[in-house]
Every structure is written in structure tokens, then in C-alpha cells.
Amino acid sequence: MSIVTVTVLQYPKGARFRAFGNMGRFLMKPFTATGLRFQKLLGSGRDFGVVPDFSQYVFLGVWESLEQARAFWQSTEAGRLLYGTSATGTLYLRPFRSHGNWDGQNPFMTNPLPDDHQHGPVAVLTRATIRWRALPDFWRHVPQARQMLQHHQDQLLFALGVGEKPLVQQCTISVWRDGAAINQYAYRQSGHKEVVQRTRQRRWYSEELFARFAVISVEGPVFHQIGMELAQ
């Protein structure tokens, strides 16, 4: 049963040049860790926009077990990312719904979960490679999507826009109080349904993936609010 980790790494101003350099080092030499089946180091954008946020990065990993995931963050290799951070946080997730591809594969092996497990905090990941001809249309509609998220602040515990390549390969990560809150936003929210339909009609993406995860545990101050929600 696979485990997915999403780790947010925040850096103070004096460490941001080194943090940006980590992206290049990672591309040349990804991590080698026991049980690590899929990995991405992602940059973030300010307020889901095109302006990069050099103070914040995300490492996503897919692991064979929870123990292997936790062991990685105690390793020397992980220290390359943790060095100089001002705050960090890791979500430990269990995927239960996923469709689409990321680099030609679906890295998330899904496992059906009982209904009572899905009533707790649920994470959502969307990822897409945007066709070059669709870039102006796509980014023109990002402010509308961002505004719709703001209408659900009482149910939204965390949200961040990240990406592999500026403008073209984009990803969103969000955590909601429960599955019902996601469904209300995704399927009943006026405006969101129309944006989803537009992506299909205008064929914005050459590759896309959508996944949901149960949040099984959290670590670090970045996800303090989610940890409190889990403890209830």
C-alpha cells in the first residue's frame, strides 16, 4: 500500500539562492532512497500566479511504506533540502482515487477506503501540462479559479500552486476538511464546473492527472492547522 508525502520547504531570504540551486541539482541527480518510487521537486508561485515564490518549494514522493518515507527525512540526502529552511511541514497521504498521467504514468496506486476514513481531512492534487497555444487562455482564467477558492475558506485547510516548469507544467495541492467539502466545490460551485468544461472543450492540456488522498498524519509547523483537525 503506497504512501505519498508532500513536504513544504520554506526558506528565509538569505537561503533562497541555495534553495533555487537545489532545483538544478535535483534535475541532474534525483534522490536515491529505499522505497522511493516517484519523486518531484516543485517550485511555487505567488498566490497561484506566474510570479515565482523563491521562498517556498515542495518535495513530493511516492513510497512503498510509511516507515521508508519517514526514514528519508532523517537521512543525509534529505538534509540537502532541509538545510537553511525556516519552516517545514510534511503531509503523509494515502491515495484512494486517481486518474490521468504524470510523465506518462499514474504514480499513485489507489486503495479503496472505508467511508468513515474519508470523512476526515482529504488532500487533492491536480497536475497538468498546458499546450503552448493554450497558455494565454489558461492563465487568463487562473484569477477566477483563485477567487472561487476564497469562497470556501471555512472548508479549505491549505492550498498551494506549484510547478515543474514555469507557465507550462502546473500543479495544485489543497487540503479540505472532508470529501463533502471537495464535492461541494468541484461539482456544485458555480463557475468551477464551467472552467472544467472549458478545459475539455478547448483542449488546454496535453497531459493531466487528478488524485484524492486521505491525510493519515502530518509533521511540522506548516501544517499545524491540519494536525489540529486530525486530532479532533
| Res. 120: pLDDT tops 90 | no
Rounded to the nearest integer, the mean pLDDT of the chain is 87
End-to-end C-alpha distance for the chain, whole angstroms: 26
- CATH class, 3-231 region: alpha beta
| C-alpha dihedral sign at 175, 127, 40, 168 | negative
Choice between 190 and 112, residue whose per-residue pLDDT is larger = 112
Q: How far apart are CA 38 and CA 5, in angstroms?
A: 10
- For position 153, what pLDDT does the model report? 75
Please give the biggest Cα pair distance in the chain: 48
- For position 116, what pLDDT does the model report? 46
Mind listing the pLDDT tens digit for each residue in 88-119? 999 999 999 999 999 999 999 776 665 545 57
- For position 126, what pLDDT does the model report? 93
Angle between helices 135-150 and 192-201 (to 10 degrees): 160
C-alpha cell at 152: 470556501
- For position 21, what pLDDT does the model report? 92
Mind listing the pLDDT tens digit for each residue in 211-229? 999 999 999 999 999 988 8
* Domain positions in the chain: 3-231
- Strongest mean pLDDT among 82-91, 163-172, 192-201: 82-91
Strand partners, 215: 93
Instruction: Classify strands 87-100 and 3-10 as parallel, antiparallel or unpaired.
Output: antiparallel
**What is the DSSP code (8-state) at residue 29?**
S
Strand partners, 93: 4, 215
Residues 6+ apart with CB under 8 A from 190: none
Q: How far apart are CA 187 and CA 4, in angstroms?
A: 25
- For position 48, what pLDDT does the model report? 80
Q: Classify residue 154 as exposed, middle or buried by CB count within 10 Å of its CB (0-12, 13-18, 19+).
A: exposed
Using CA atoms, how far residue 166 sits from 12, 132, 163, 170, 182, in Å, is 22, 12, 7, 8, 27
Q: How far apart are CA 232 and CA 218, in angstroms?
A: 14
Share of the chain above pLDDT 90, in %: 58
Q: Classify residue 115 as exposed, middle or buried by CB count within 10 Å of its CB (0-12, 13-18, 19+).
A: exposed
Mind listing the pLDDT tens digit for each residue in 129-168? 999 988 888 888 777 777 777 666 788 999 999 999 888 9
C-alpha cell at 143: 484569477
